[in-house]
Amino acid sequence: MHVLVINCGSSSVKYQVVDAAGGDALAEGKIERVGAEKSHADAIGEVLAATAGHTFGAVGHRVVHGGERFHDATRIDEDVIAAIEACVPLAPLHNPANLAGIRAAREALPDVPHVAVFDTAFHVRMPRRAKTYAIDPAVADAHGIRRYGFHGTSHEYVAQVAARFLEHDLADLRVITLHLGNGASACAVEMGSSVETSMGMTPLEGLVMGTRSGDLDPGVVLHLARALGVDATDDALNRASGLAGLSGLGNDLRDIQDRAEAGDDRARLAINVFAHRCRKYVGAYAAVMGGLDAIVLTGGIGENSVEMRRRILQRLEFLGVRVDEDANRDAKVSHASPVADISEARARVRTLVVATNEERMIATKAAAVAAGIKQVKAAGPIPIAVSARHIHLDRAAMDLLFGDGSELTEYKPLSQPGQYAAAEKLTIVGPRGRIEGVRVLGPLRRSCQVEVSRTDEFKLGVDAPVRHSGKTEGSAPITLEGPKGTLHLKEGLICAWRHIHMTPADAEAYGVKDGDFVEVEVTGGPRDLTFGDVAVRVSEKYALEMHIDTDEANAAELDRGAAGDLVYEDIVGSTASLQRKR
């Protein structure tokens, strides 16, 4: 399918025709002086004239701000246009231009599906703790103040390319992506999801950029606003700061590097401030994710500046980052050859330079929406079970906690074949609190895992990541107290990612596959609820059932029965139906 990708700015319209299957750009161009000399409709007319030989299966529109509503590419209709319009106060320069392009293109190509691909979408599911600013929630709500994040299409694309290069599933990796161009942002991609990003409510926060300051004391903004007025402060921080402001040389790092080489102190300081800020974020994001598998550098600076890469990546050996100087110097990436590995062979963390390609990502997403793969087949309802807090043990832990050679006693079979709730219980202890009588599940596993809810996590005083079962690397520590001993696990505490178990035959019936994410509408309780981001798990060994934790069940007011320690308790009368694929 050929996709017309449109990136409509306030003064220019960039376009590409992309073959969605192979990702090749078949045509591209830029219409300038939009707004002043010609309207967006005129510019779209020029785009269509320039691409006249192509037949489009979809038009993909880059949209900067999707607010809280859009967590994926979305087919455009009047309702979606109204929602993008509602985000104009959050992106007053960008969204009106994006909308002008959408309106003109829809009018010119009324029979082709138009799809909005949002810069913010990849970050919508960030944990609340990452997207919440520490201000009065009433003020935050009234003004839409929270971390939205930007550059999502690029962060997601380069993380996927890196995972493919490393021959790993992105869902197994913790990656820091550094998009360093004229705009710059960092993103912590944990198991495929954005869990932190440096741009915030606006693209001004975070890293040093071409002309934007990035992080500074909010008191500085107040101080400058009082001294200069609001508009002059906006100008100072957005257009006269960053590399340009620090160096006094404009925003092109190549010029600044040349001047630094020649001994210019301001140019040197600009480079040092830029690199220091990036390195600071790498450390912070490794801490946020509890570990690190790869760093990805992209954008004009990340892809091209050998010197900036070297400065950012120095003194990170303690994290397992080791850069091969020769590989760094020789790294050349392009759309045709998008990855260069610049790490030493013995480095625990891989450091990759990846050529970003937002147009390709937009085309892929637009083609997927247009092809309608989001429609899942309608099959019957899915039983729901609520998973209370519980523990999986390995052999060594069993020996230590219950005595050498001890065995679990089956107390009650669970719905998944071969699984059972054991009679044995343990106390789990965190730095702040303890929870007694936590059920152990059998049979024994290859490694220990403790699954709690967000409420439990707060009581224990630990920061448990939301993870798929079995993905405990870099998760939270927890102490287990048993009748015969105490075991301190360095990692293993998680909040379980909501999921559906099903057999291959079920998957066929629902039109999904292992690893898909679906939305699930839960009905039958007093407060019907649609759960997003539900992982599909397919195996011959499973029985069809959706698992949610107690907090999630409470949110939908599903009755989980009187006995709080029961695990995987079936809920009579509550079923779920699949809505659509992500």
Beta-sheet strands, E only, within 129-274 = 174-180, 184-190, 193-197
Binding-site size, ligand AMP (CB under 6 A): 12
Question: Is position 355 an interface residue for ligand AMP (rule: CB under 6 A)?
Answer: no
Residues 437-476 within binding reach of ligand AMP (CB under 6 A): none
Q: How many CB atoms lie within 10 A of CB 381?
A: 16
CA 281 to chain centre: 16
**Alpha helices per DSSP H over 198-251:** 218-228, 230-239, 242-247
Q: How far is the CB of 300 from ligand AMP (least distance, A)?
A: 2
Q: How far is the CB of 151 from ligand AMP (least distance, A)?
A: 10
Question: Judged by CB, which is closer to ligand AMP: 352, or 544?
Answer: 352
Q: Compute the distance between CA of residue 386 and CA of residue 550 in angstroms, rounded to an integer.
A: 6
Which one of 165-173, 299-307, 368-376, 389-397 is the stretch in contact with ligand AMP (CB under 6 A)?
299-307
Helix (H, G, I), strand (E, B) or coil at 199: coil
Catalytic residue among 119, 341, 506, 549: 119
**Alpha helices per DSSP H over 393-542:** 395-402, 454-460, 504-510
Question: Judged by CB, which is closer to ligand AMP: 113, or 302?
Answer: 302
Residues 252-281 within binding reach of ligand AMP (CB under 6 A): 252-254
From candidates 194, 197, 305, 328, binder to ligand AMP by CB under 6 A: 305
Both tokens of residue 572? 């009579």
CB burial of residue 279 (10 Å; 0-12, 13-18, 19+): middle
Q: Compute the distance between CA of residue 274 and CA of residue 197 in angstroms, rounded to an integer.
A: 17
Question: Judged by CB, which is closer to ligand AMP: 304, or 472?
Answer: 304
Which one of 51-59, 188-196, 265-273, 300-308 is the stretch in contact with ligand AMP (CB under 6 A)?
300-308
Q: Is 119 considered catalytic here? A: yes
Counting every residue written for the chain, the total comes to 582
Question: Judged by CB, which is closer to ligand AMP: 192, or 210?
Answer: 210
Which one of 276-284, 295-303, 380-388, 500-508 is the stretch in contact with ligand AMP (CB under 6 A)?
295-303
Question: Is position 154 an interface residue for ligand AMP (rule: CB under 6 A)?
Answer: no
Question: Judged by CB, which is closer to ligand AMP: 302, or 465?
Answer: 302
Q: What are phi and psi of 370, to 5 degrees?
A: -65, -35
Residues 174-193 within binding reach of ligand AMP (CB under 6 A): 181-182
From candidates 127, 203, 245, 299, binder to ligand AMP by CB under 6 A: 299
What is the full DSSP assignment across 510-558? Answer: HT--TT-EEEEEEESSSS-EEEEEEEEEE-TT--SEEEEEHHHHHHTT-
Q: What is the DSSP letter of 405?
A: T
Question: Judged by CB, which is closer to ligand AMP: 256, or 382?
Answer: 256
Buried b (16+ CB within 10 A) or exposed e, 211-226: bbbbeeeeeebeebee
From candidates 193, 198, 304, 343, binder to ligand AMP by CB under 6 A: 304
Q: Which of 508, 520, 582 is nearest to 548 (CA)?
A: 520
Sheet hosting strand 184-190, strand order edge to edge: 193-197, 184-190, 174-180, 294-298, 350-354, 339-341
Question: Judged by CB, which is closer to ligand AMP: 181, or 192?
Answer: 181
In Å, what is the CA distance from 80 to each residue of 114, 115, 580, 581? 11, 10, 17, 18
Residues 91-110 within binding reach of ligand AMP (CB under 6 A): none
Q: How far is the CB of 157 from ligand AMP (least distance, A)?
A: 13
Question: Judged by CB, which is closer to ligand AMP: 179, or 501?
Answer: 179
Beta strands 174-180; 294-298: pairing state: parallel
Question: Judged by CB, which is closer to ligand AMP: 339, or 444?
Answer: 339
Q: Is the CB of residue 439 less than 8 Å from the CB of residue 388? A: yes
Question: Is position 9 an interface residue for ligand AMP (rule: CB under 6 A)?
Answer: no
Question: Is position 90 an interface residue for ligand AMP (rule: CB under 6 A)?
Answer: no
Helix (H, G, I), strand (E, B) or coil at 108: helix
Query: Side-chain half-sphere of 52: how many Cα atoms within 13 Å?
Result: 4
Q: How far is the CB of 302 from ligand AMP (least distance, A)?
A: 8
Asked, as a colleague might, if the bond just before 477 is cis with ω within 30 of 0, I would say no
Question: Is position 211 an interface residue for ligand AMP (rule: CB under 6 A)?
Answer: no
From candidates 149, 206, 210, 492, binder to ligand AMP by CB under 6 A: 210
Q: How far is the CB of 297 from ligand AMP (least distance, A)?
A: 11
Q: Compute the distance between CA of residue 51 and CA of residue 388 in angstroms, rounded to an integer.
A: 57
Residues 366-405 within binding reach of ligand AMP (CB under 6 A): none
Q: How far is the CB of 368 from ligand AMP (least distance, A)?
A: 25
Question: Judged by CB, which is closer to ligand AMP: 358, or 545?
Answer: 358
Q: What is the DSSP letter of 204?
A: T
Q: How far is the CB of 206 from ligand AMP (least distance, A)?
A: 15
Residue in the structure block whose two tokens are 């999502």: 152
Which one of 68-76, 166-174, 212-220, 298-306 is the stretch in contact with ligand AMP (CB under 6 A)?
298-306
From candidates 60, 300, 442, 482, binder to ligand AMP by CB under 6 A: 300
Q: Which of 84, 130, 126, 103 is nearest to 41 (CA)?
A: 103
Spell out, one character per residue from 218 to 257, where the chain touches ligand AMP: x when CB under 6 A holds, - when not: ---------------------------------xxxx---
Could you give the residue numbers annotated as active site?
119
Query: Which residues bind to ligand AMP, rule: CB under 6 A?
Result: 181-182, 210, 251-254, 299-301, 304-305
